[in-house]
């Protein structure tokens, strides 16, 4: 539901939400808002602040530690923020909105690189299910299948954060570096992730070699 269509009026009756995996955290919230633009996200934060309502953010609600919701607060469902903003095919930097899910991201970069001799791809396969949002992956600092690879933070170049006071902040290892380190793995405590820039790696074709050894 668009916050502008609904004129920012809370639902007349409480809404119940839950996580996907454990389903052990059924929580009553005042309303669920699904912003479709950065401006709408900022407006939703302003609305919650004026109404003195707590804010929680969710993507696909797959957090394995249990998705956390603010009781009687506003839940921001970010899955409609799923556009690709920019793909630099020279450097492999891909900027996307926070609500895009891994299959959508992979499908995008594969489709635009069909004719490229040296295509880019994600550094590692995310663990477990596929339908995680990139913003949620950042907020939980997820890990992948590669045991020798660092968690998701190593693949993030920068991100945009909407803070509780509606300030829109750009974060990277050079700009607002403290907030960069805190928000990755911060589970939304430091603001709502609006978009992020992912550092892709050159795709390599591997050959699997199997040798049968006698007992």
Q: Which of 26-30, 61-65, 196-200 has the lowest mean pLDDT?
A: 61-65
pLDDT confidence of residue 2: 40
The verdict on pTM exceeding 0.75 is yes
Mean pLDDT for 78-101 is 97
Q: Tell me the average pLDDT across 108-126.
A: 92
Q: Which two tokens stand for residue 85?
A: 């903003």
* In the block, residue with structure tokens 């004129």: 7
| Non-local CB neighbours of 8 within 8 Å, separated by 6+ positions | 43, 44, 47
- Report, as an integer, the average pLDDT of 26-55: 94
CA 34-133-22 angle, to 5 degrees, is 90
Q: Give the three-class secondary structure for 146.
A: coil
pLDDT band at 62 (very low <50, low <70, confident <90, very high): confident
Phi-psi label, residue 166: left if phi above 0, alpha if psi -120 to 50, beta otherwise: left
pLDDT of residue 86: 98
Contact 101, 82 (CB under 8 A): yes
154-190 pLDDT, tens per residue? 999 999 999 999 999 999 999 999 999 999 999 899 9
56 neighbors 68 (Cβ within 8 angstroms): yes
């Amino acid at each position: 539901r668009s916050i502008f269509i609904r004129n920012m009026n809370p639902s007349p009756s409480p809404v119940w939400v839950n996580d996907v995996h454990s389903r052990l955290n059924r929580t009553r919230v005042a309303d669920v808002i699904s912003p479709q633009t950065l401006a709408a996200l900022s407006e939703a934060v302003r609305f919650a602040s004026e109404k003195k309502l707590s804010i929680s953010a969710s993507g696909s609600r797959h957090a394995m530690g249990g998705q956390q919701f603010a009781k009687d607060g506003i839940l921001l469902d970010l899955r409609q923020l799923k556009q690709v903003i920019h793909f630099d095919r020279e450097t492999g930097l891909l900027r996307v909105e926070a609500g895009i899910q891994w299959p959508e991201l992979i499908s995008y970069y594969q489709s635009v690189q069909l004719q490229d001799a040296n295509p880019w791809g994600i550094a590692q396969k995310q663990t477990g299910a596929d339908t995680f949002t990139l913003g949620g992956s950042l907020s939980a600092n997820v890990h992948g299948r590669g045991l020798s690879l660092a968690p998701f933070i190593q693949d993030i170049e920068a991100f945009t954060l909407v803070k509780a006071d509606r300030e829109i902040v750009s974060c990277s290892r050079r700009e607002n570096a403290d907030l960069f380190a805190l928000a990755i793995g911060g589970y939304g405590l430091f603001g709502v992730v609006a978009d992020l820039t992912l550092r892709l790696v050159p795709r390599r074709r591997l050959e699997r070699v199997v040798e049968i050894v006698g007992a």
